[in-house]
């Protein structure tokens, strides 16, 4: 139990450092920007402060190309007459495969919750299992399957994960783009991509999207009482779905090509989020 307390204490002290460094005492919404999603921050609103994640307690610097290691506080562009809202944009995701443990993976989410955020938007780049979803397609996550064999929760913390990816927020996202498809996200540990046999397994157990993030973060967010929206960008067809081998270069290229559309989508969604 004392270990559990220290993970949350670390998040609370990170949140107070953030409040001090950004000058924004409390944030309303937090976003984790994954592969391909980095451009969205500019469109969400005016950046009030940008802080290297390494300056905040508990954050490890990410080694993955395409993952920005900064945390931004953004004043959300809202309609006239609406109260000003502040978004915390975590460009620095820690992946389980980096080997810093599951606490490090969810520290950003816990920090965002401690900073006041009641809504969390998790984005990622992923592999697609449906051949009709071309690379560059954004897909709403409607549920997940956690194949990491771990949990961010410590001790007898029995948390309900029904409607983890809030139906309400998915409906709100579809108001912005009615063409958005939905699917089940399967988190693997990585860092290797799957074998074609593992992708067939993921299909048979009900998966639509495969990746190396998000599920553990969503669990930690639910523990913290946040409402979660998850959106994946399909950056590649999963192994064996297309005959082409997978490459991180392809992932980055697809992300760049899709950036204008998905950034605008995300900004429109954030503008409509109400606590
Ligand atoms: I971007 O095909 C991206 N991340 N596990 N499989 C897994 N993670 C991914 C993939 C993929 N594409």
User: For residue range 36-90, what is the model confidence (pLDDT) as tens digits?
Assistant: 898 888 899 999 999 999 899 998 765 454 455 899 999 997 777 778 899 999 9
Gap between the Cα atoms of 87 and 26, Å rounded: 9
Q: Measured between alpha carbons, how far is residue 88 from residues 19, 60, 97, 119, 136 in Å?
A: 11, 17, 24, 10, 25
Q: Please name the residues in contact with 190: beta carbons below 8 A apart, sequence gap of 6 or more.
A: 95, 96, 97, 212
The CB of 114 under 6 Å from ligand 1? The reply is no
- Number of domains composing the chain: 1
Residue 260: inside a domain: yes
Gap between the Cα atoms of 27 and 117, Å rounded: 5
Residue 232: inside a domain: yes
Between the CA of 234 and the centroid of ligand 1 the distance, in Å, is 9
Question: Which residue CA neighbors atom 5 of ligand 1 most closely?
Answer: 211
Q: What is the CATH number of the domain that holds 20?
A: 3.40.50.1580
Q: Which pTM was predicted? A: 0.94
Residue 2: inside a domain: no
Range of the domain at 123: 7-272
Query: Could you identify the atom of ligand 1 that is nearest to the CA of residue 190?
Result: 5
Output DSSP code: residue 91: -
Residue 1: inside a domain: no
How many CB atoms within 10 Å of residue 217? 27
The CB of 235 under 6 Å from ligand 1? The reply is yes
Between the CA of 236 and the centroid of ligand 1 the distance, in Å, is 7
Residue 187: inside a domain: yes
Q: What share of the chain is helix, strand, coil (3-state, %, to 5)?
A: 35, 25, 40
Between the CA of 105 and the centroid of ligand 1 the distance, in Å, is 17
User: For residue range 143-175, what is the model confidence (pLDDT) as tens digits?
Assistant: 999 999 999 999 889 999 999 999 999 999 999
Give buried/exposed letters for 28-44 (b at 16+ CB in 10 A, else e): bbbbbbbbbbbbbbebb
Residue 168: inside a domain: yes
Mutate to test the pocket of ligand 1, among 95, 125, 127, 238 (most ligand atoms within 8 A of CB): 127
Please tell me the predicted confidence (pLDDT) of residue 1.
43
């Amino acid at each position: 139990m004392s270990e559990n307390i220290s993970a949350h204490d670390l998040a609370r002290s990170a949140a107070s450092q953030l409040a001090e460094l950004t000058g924004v005492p409390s944030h309303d919404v937090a976003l984790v920007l994954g592969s391909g999603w980095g451009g969205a921050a500019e469109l969400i609103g005016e950046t009030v402060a940008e802080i290297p994640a390494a300056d905040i307690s508990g954050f490890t610097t990410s080694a993955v190309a395409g993952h920005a290691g900064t945390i931004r506080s953004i004043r959300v562009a809202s309609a006239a007459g609406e109260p000003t809202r502040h978004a915390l944009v975590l460009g620095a995701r820690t992946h389980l495969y980096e080997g810093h443990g599951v606490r490090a993976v969810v520290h950003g989410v816990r920090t965002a919750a401690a900073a006041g955020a009641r809504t969390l938007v998790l984005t990622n780049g992923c592999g697609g299992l449906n051949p009709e979803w071309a690379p560059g397609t954004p897909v709403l996550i409607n549920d997940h399957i956690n194949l990491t064999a771990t949990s961010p929760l410590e001790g007898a913390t029995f948390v309900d994960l029904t409607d983890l990816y809030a139906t309400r927020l998915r409906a709100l996202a579809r108001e912005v783009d009615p063409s958005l498809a939905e699917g089940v996200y399967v988190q693997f540990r990585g860092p290797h991509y799957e074998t074609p046999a593992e992708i067939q397994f993921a299909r048979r157990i009900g998966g639509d999207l495969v990746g190396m993030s998000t599920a553990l973060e969503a669990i930690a967010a639910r523990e913290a009482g946040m409402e979660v929206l998850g959106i994946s960008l399909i950056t590649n067809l999963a192994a064996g779905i297309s005959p082409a081998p997978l490459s991180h270069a392809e992932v980055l290229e697809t992300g760049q090509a899709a950036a204008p559309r998905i950034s605008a989508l995300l900004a429109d969604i954030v503008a409509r989020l109400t606590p």
